[in-house]
Amino acid sequence: MSHTSLCYLNGKFLPLEEASISVLDRGFIFGDGIYEVIPAYGGNLFRLDEHLQRLNNSLQAIHLKNPLSNAEWATLLSTLVEKNNHGDQSVYLQLTRGVAKREHSFPAETSATVFAMSSPMPAAKTTLATEGVHAISLDDIRWRYCHIKTIALLPNILLRQQAVENEAVEAILIREGKVTEGAASNVFVVKDGVIKTPPKSECLLPGITRDLIVELAIKNQLACKEIEIDESELLSADEIWLSSSIKEILPVTQLNEKSVADGVPGPVWKNMQTIFQNYKQSLRDGIEASRVK
Ligand code: PDD
């Protein structure tokens, strides 16, 4: 690590290397917790209200009370970003059901473990716009509450690993013949100029980047539909994109070792990429995003 990174744990800011939790933490024992990943561009937290709303939804879904108000979260996270003054950052925050004797059902008195850290945002691949990335499609082996951003990510990890072992960056998941999402991203396809992404449901995480892409498409009068996507449409798409807070928008140029259309990032991705990067720049500049197209 080039410099010390400060994190937040249960009310205190401290160096990451000094932060530790009990081995009885239910996050460690059961994966009983939820998380968020929030980018910060030029010190501005990206779509914070949306991330906090999703955080609250995840907490509600696992019956864990949010120990902080949205205003307290905003202060905590912007303090963390300020203290780790390393340009564009990705903030990771996690809450677990806390420390208790190992027993599956909830402990009578829960005091959540609250943890947040920040890392420099990884730079995009320099060949992204010329070569794109490779993906594979796999059966979606996950549970039926994929809208909860749970820290219990073993299925996602196994799927992503299988992709990596096949020289791909992501696994695109198929449940009952329909595209759901990636192991850690949302999926878009483009066919005949129309951008499509699966509608929100319990089969996928409602990605903040996904929602922004839909919003930007509408603002810029690009045809965009939230609609179920058959596996066959994925295989015959003109373009495939992956989206996430860390990866932003990746053009997939090879799927299952076959070229997607002519095997280079497509024109609709290029257009959306420009729109997205301009939006981000407006945040870095501290300009109200709503004033910029
Ligand atoms: N993952 N779907 C899944 C399963 C994800 O894990 C993620 C993000 C997304 C995209 O959501 P967003 O646009 O809000 O980042 C979709 C994060 C980045 C992670 O686990 O590191």
Over 60: is that where the pLDDT of 292 sits? no
Q: What contacts 112, CB < 8 A, 6 or more positions away?
A: 64, 65, 67, 95, 96, 97, 98
What are the structure tokens assigned to 263, written together?
Answer: 């095997």
Nearest residue to 5 via CA among 114, 90, 117, 94: 117
Residue nearest to atom 20 of ligand 1 (CA): 184
Measured in angstroms, how far is the CA atom of residue 122 from the centroid of ligand 1? 15
DSSP conformation letters of 16-42: GGG----TTBHHHHH--EEEEEEEEET
Measured in angstroms, how far is the CA atom of residue 204 from the centroid of ligand 1? 10
In terms of pLDDT, which residue wins out, 26 or 109?
Answer: 26
Q: Does domain 128-284 match CATH 3.40.50.2300?
A: no
pLDDT tens digits, 61-78: 999 999 999 999 999 999
Over 50: is that where the pLDDT of 240 sits? yes
* Domain boundary assignment for the chain: 6-120, 128-284
CA angle 60, 66, 71 (to 5 degrees): 125
Share of the chain above pLDDT 70, in %: 96
Grouping H, G, I as helix, E, B as strand and the rest as coil, residue 154 is helix
Residue 173 near residue 159 (C-beta atoms within 8 A):
yes
Over 60: is that where the pLDDT of 90 sits? yes
Over 50: is that where the pLDDT of 242 sits? yes
Average pLDDT (141-149) is 98
Name the residue of 186, 204, 246 to mutate for ligand 1: max ligand atoms within 8 A of Cβ.
Answer: 186
Q: What is the pLDDT of residue 287?
A: 58
Q: Is 245 in the pocket of ligand 1 (CB under 6 A)?
A: yes
Q: Is 148 in the pocket of ligand 1 (CB under 6 A)?
A: no
Q: Which helix H or strand E contains 273, and what residues bound it? A: helix 267-284
Q: Is 153 in the pocket of ligand 1 (CB under 6 A)?
A: no
Fold designation for 6-120: D-amino Acid Aminotransferase; Chain A, domain 1 (3.30.470)
Name the one residue in this structure whose structure tokens are 């939790």.
21
The rounded distance, in Å, linking the Cα atoms of 74 and 57 is 17
Q: Show the beta-strand stretches assigned E in the chain.
A: 6-9, 12-15, 33-41, 44-45, 89-96, 113-120, 133-139, 170-175, 178-182, 186-191, 194-197, 224-226, 239-244, 248-255, 258-259
Name the residue of 143, 181, 205 to mutate for ligand 1: max ligand atoms within 8 A of Cβ.
Answer: 205
Catalytic residue numbers read 149
Q: What is the pLDDT of residue 3?
A: 60
Mean of pLDDT over the chain: 95
Residue 100 near residue 110 (C-beta atoms within 8 A):
yes
